[in-house]
Amino acid sequence: MVTGQQVRTWVQGYARAWTTHGRKDITVLFTSQAESHEWPYETNWIGREAIVDGWLSRVPWQEGGWDFEWTILTINGDTAASAGTGRYRELGTFANLWTVTFDKNGRCSMFRMWNNQV
């Protein structure tokens, strides 16, 4: 069972990777066979390398700066749900709902995000 502290640590790593654009910072978050799915954009990245490459393709989204705030909604076994708001100076504000399924080492094996511009 994943703990709140494990979820917070993972999201802090996610924000760090989103800031640094470091391949290593992204890689450490996900299992080798992880999946990342996002709606409404129909993003389906399968495997850690696809996730890293897809993530790095979005670096331009951050031009002008960004910030993110979030909260844990619930934890059920190995899966956590959270809600967040990302504010991008160039793109606008997005309300997010995430579910993150973790392996026994605290890496994400399944990431799902519903992303709605507000």
**pLDDT, tens digit, for every residue of 18-41?**
889 999 999 999 999 999 999 998
Burial class (CB in 10 A: 0-12, 13-18, 19+), 108: buried
Residue 73 — very low, low, confident or very high, per pLDDT cuts 50/70/90?
A: very high
Could you tell me the residue ranges of all domains in the chain?
Answer: 4-117
Q: Across residues 56-68, what is the average pLDDT? A: 85
β-pairing, 30-39 with 108-117? Answer: parallel
Provide the whole-model pTM: 0.93
Cα-based angle 113, 68, 62 (whole degrees, multiple of 5):
85
Alpha-carbon distance of 97 to 101, in angstroms, equals 14
Q: What is the pLDDT of residue 10?
A: 97
Fold of 4-117: Nuclear Transport Factor 2; Chain: A, (3.10.450)
Alpha-carbon distance of 30 to 47, in angstroms, equals 9
